[in-house]
């Protein structure tokens, strides 16, 4: 008899959700977490602190540049320490919340590093060096990911930082160089630009936001450039010389050519994340990894070893908290004999810059490449009443629907509140809804969501306000 039905290694959004759902379904569950607090990357050094800093820096920027136009005169002064304390308080509220939920669901917590030492056996090395072996019927690897590194460049988390260091800088750098124009680079670049840094973003590809709809990415580049971010696309960073104060960053065209030097006080390496499996004993346990170091799983999240499962950033798929959560939930239900399932075609993706970018489903470029006939309906926020009243008219909604069936295949929103607006598109797509369904749904006036309805009308060339 195993002491536990389920042991989950890692309590990020994948692991803690899996543990809670399994407990709800009557399993005896334990979690192993080496970090001092629960919530993983997302709550401690990812989604939550970055959104707190985006929120606070946006208010600062607003106070400096937008409130005056509304007749609100304010003098601003940045207290970075206090802003960091605001961020830390948000993190604490969240990680304490997860600890409470684990206790409430009677989930036992082992605070240490987990290693799989055999089928159904996890050895935990506690902080004081002692070890304990735990038996479980099922073991879940939910160990997440870590920042990818550039060869030859050492991250000190002070002046050469990953996202973790960039969320806790002691002062606003005069010049910040961001390597990588993906979501994390642009979000954190936006934060420090708003707080006063000169921000240059170096990107290997010839466009920002790789993986997103091309039209969205081009629009965002224009908007972020207007906000003061400088882009060096089609370039790569090949080295950093830190001798003699400041950093001399060697930058070269990606296609080859003359090297130049860009000076920066802080360099943020934001070139992506890699699965984290160090120290888990996967090779010895026979758990297979793919050529990118991700744990290989089948459609039931089972690894190459029976009884060992994996979810979240450590397996293939978008590295997103809600994808990890949904996998955690589905796995717990599968283990309880239910039909747990994740619909990978409907996973929203959000960039929390200003305006925000939110998308779900296929990008226009993807549909073209796949030869799928589609109709596109687009509606700009310059024609939306609420956006005009708020003077937040940057952006648009684009709906892509199947040319024959009208089924919605993709929705892309650039808007002040896009992260919240995308949910209706996700629900519609889960139900296989059409552009007509959206167009016939009554949307409250005046709201930004009316632009979604108008874009749905525009699929059939019958938008009213544009
Ligand atoms: C700056 C930043 C911003 C982000 N913003 C967003 C966002 O806005 N929205 C979004 O959806 N996603 C965002 N992400 C991505 C999101 O954080 C991840 O997709 C998510 O955390 C993955 O969850 P997970 O459970 O798979 O792993 P993680 O959250 O990485 O958790 C894994 C946990 O496992 C623990 N662990 C690892 N190995 C062991 C071991 N051997 N023993 C015990 N414990 C172990 C780790 O300490 C960690 O706590 C962001 C990421 C970053 C870095």
Q: Which atom of ligand 1 is nearest to the CA of 35?
A: 47
- Nearest protein Cα to ligand 1, atom 19: 320
CB of 139 within 8 A of CB of 269?
no
Where on the phi/psi map is residue 98: left (φ > 0), alpha (ψ -120 to 50), or beta? alpha
Residues with CB under 6 A from ligand 1: 9-15, 32-35, 40-42, 46-47, 50, 113-114, 142-145, 163, 184, 276, 279-280, 312-313, 319-322, 324, 352
Give the 3-state secondary structure of residue 212. Answer: coil
- Alpha helical stretches, state H, 129-233: 163-166, 183-194, 214-226
The β-bridge partners of 237 are: 251
Ligand 1 centroid to residue 444 C-alpha, Å:
36
- 76 Cα–ligand 1 center, Å: 35
Ligand 1 atom, smallest distance to 51 CA: 8
Class of residue 158 by CB neighbours under 10 A (exposed 0-12, middle 13-18, buried 19+): exposed
- CA dist 321 and 295 (Å) reads 17
Query: By 3-state DSSP, what share of the chain in percent is helix, strand and coil, each rounded to 5?
Result: 35, 25, 40
Instruction: Give me ligand 1 centre to Cα 340, in Å.
Output: 22
CA of 142 from ligand 1 middle (Å) equals 9
Predicted confidence (pLDDT) per residue in 190-241, tens digit: 999 999 999 999 999 999 999 999 999 999 999 999 999 999 999 999 999 9
- CB neighbour list of residue 44: distance below 8 Å, 6 or more residues apart: 35, 37, 91, 95
Between CA 376 and CA 157 the distance in angstroms is 44
Q: How many CA atoms, within 13 angstroms, populate the side-chain half-sphere of residue 43?
A: 25
**Pick from 382, 359, 165: nearest CA to 265:** 165
Distance 346 CA to ligand 1 centre (A): 21
Looking at residue 243, its pLDDT comes to: 84
Give the per-residue pLDDT at 1: 63
Question: Which residue's alpha carbon is nearest to atom 52 within ligand 1?
Answer: 46
Q: What was the pLDDT predicted at 244?
A: 76
Buried b vs exposed e over 246-262: b needs ≥16 C-beta within 10 Å?
bbebebbeeeeeeeeeb
In this structure, how many other beta carbons lie within 10 angstroms of the beta carbon of residue 399? Answer: 30
pLDDT at 245: 78
Q: Which two tokens stand for residue 317?
A: 């798929």
Q: Whose CA is nearest to atom 49 of ligand 1?
A: 40
DSSP code, position 391: T
Peptide bond into 105 cis (omega under 30): no
CB neighbour burial string for 71-107, b if at least 16 within 10 angstroms, e if fewer: eeeeeeeeeeeebbeebeebbeebbeebeebbeeeeb
Instruction: Give me the pLDDT at residue 218, please.
Output: 97
Structure tokens at 152: 């030859």
Q: Mutate which of 14, 39, 42 to test ligand 1's pocket (most atoms within 8 Å of Cβ)?
A: 42
Distance between Cα 314 and ligand 1 center (Å):
9
Residue whose C-alpha is closest to residue 296's, from 281, 316, 280, 312 = 316
For 150, residues 6+ apart whose C-beta sits below 8 A from its C-beta are 179, 237, 269, 271
As a residue count, the chain comes to: 466
Which amino acid residue places its CA nearest to atom 3 of ligand 1?
46
Q: Which string of DSSP letters, residue by residue, matches 57-90?
A: HHHHHHHHHTGGGGT--------HHHHHHHHHHH
| Ligand 1 centroid to residue 358 C-alpha, Å | 20
Atom 35 in ligand 1: residue holding the nearest Cα: 10
CA distance 382 to 450: 12
* Residue 31 DSSP code: E
Whether 109 is catalytic: no
Is-contact 375 434, C-beta < 8 A?
Answer: no
Give DSSP secondary structure letters for 288-308: -B-TTSPBP--TTSB-SSTTE
Cβ atoms < 10 Å from Cβ of 157? 13
Q: In this predicted model, what pLDDT tens digit does every residue of 83-108 receive, in sequence order?
A: 999 999 999 999 999 999 999 999 99
| Ranges of the chain whose pLDDT falls below 50 | none
Sequence-distant (≥ 6) Cβ neighbours of residue 395 within 8 angstroms = 219, 223, 355, 380, 381, 387, 413, 414, 415, 416, 418
Cα distances from 402 to residues 260, 372, 376, 439, 440, in angstroms, run 47, 8, 9, 15, 17
Distance CA 60, CA 28 (A): 47
Which of 11, 35, 38, 40 should be mutated for ligand 1, with most atoms under 8 A from CB?
40
State which of 143, 295, 317, 348 you would mutate to test the pocket of ligand 1, scoring each by most atoms of that ligand within 8 A of its C-beta. 143
Predicted local confidence at residue 105, as pLDDT: 98
In 3D space, the residue among 373, 326, 350, 321 whose CA is nearest the CA of residue 420 turns out to be 350
The answer to whether residues 17 and 329 touch, using CB atoms and an 8 Å cutoff, is yes
């Amino acid at each position: 008899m195993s002491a536990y039905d389920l042991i989950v290694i890692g309590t990020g959004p994948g692991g803690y959700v899996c543990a809670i759902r399994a407990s709800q379904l009557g399993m005896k569950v334990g979690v192993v977490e080496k970090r001092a607090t629960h919530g993983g990357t997302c709550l401690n050094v990812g989604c939550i602190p970055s959104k707190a800093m985006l929120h606070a820096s946006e208010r600062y920027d607003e106070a400096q540049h937008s409130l005056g136009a509304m007749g609100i005169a304010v003098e601003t002064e940045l207290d970075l320490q206090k802003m960091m304390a605001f961020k830390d308080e948000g993190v604490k509220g969240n990680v304490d919340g997860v600890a409470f939920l684990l206790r409430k669901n009677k989930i036992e917590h082992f605070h240490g590093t987990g290693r799989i030492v055999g089928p159904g056996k996890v050895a935990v090395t506690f902080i004081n060096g002692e070890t304990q072996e735990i038996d479980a019927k099922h073991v879940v690897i939910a160990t997440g990911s870590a920042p990818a590194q550039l060869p030859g460049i050492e991250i000190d988390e002070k002046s050469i930082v990953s996202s973790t260091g960039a969320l806790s800088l002691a002062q606003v750098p005069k010049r910040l160089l961001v390597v990588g124009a993906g979501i994390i680079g642009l979000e954190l670049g936006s934060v420090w630009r708003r707080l006063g840094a000169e921000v240059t973003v170096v990107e290997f590809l010839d466009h920002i936001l790789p993986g997103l709809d091309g039209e969205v990415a081009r629009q965002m580049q224009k908007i972020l450039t207007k906000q003061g971010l400088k882009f060096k696309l089609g370039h790569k960073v090949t080295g950093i010389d830190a001798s003699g104060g400041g950093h001399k960053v060697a930058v070269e065209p990606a296609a080859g050519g003359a090297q130049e030097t860009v000076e920066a006080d802080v360099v943020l390496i934001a070139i992506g994340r890699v699965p984290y499996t160090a120290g888990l004993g996967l090779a010895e346990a026979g758990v297979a990894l793919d050529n990118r170091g991700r744990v290989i799983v089948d459609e039931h999240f089972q690894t190459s070893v029976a009884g060992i499962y994996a979810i979240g950033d450590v397996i293939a798929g978008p590295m997103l908290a809600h994808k990890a959560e949904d996998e955690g939930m589905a796995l717990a239900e599968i283990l309880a004999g239910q039909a747990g399932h994740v619909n990978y075609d409907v996973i929203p993706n959000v960039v929390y810059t200003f305006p925000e970018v939110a998308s779900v489903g296929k990008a226009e470029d993807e549909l073209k490449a796949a030869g799928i006939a589609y109709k596109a309906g687009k509606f700009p926020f310059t024609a939306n009443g609420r956006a005009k009243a708020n003077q937040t008219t940057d952006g648009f909604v684009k709906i892509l629907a199947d040319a024959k069936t009208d089924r919605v295949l993709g929705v892309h929103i650039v808007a002040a509140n896009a992260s919240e607006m995308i949910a209706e598109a996700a629900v519609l797509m889960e139900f296989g809804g059409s552009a007509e369904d959206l167009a016939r749904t009554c949307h409250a006036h005046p709201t930004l969501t009316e632009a979604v309805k108008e874009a749905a009308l525009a699929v059939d060339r019958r938008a009213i306000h544009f």
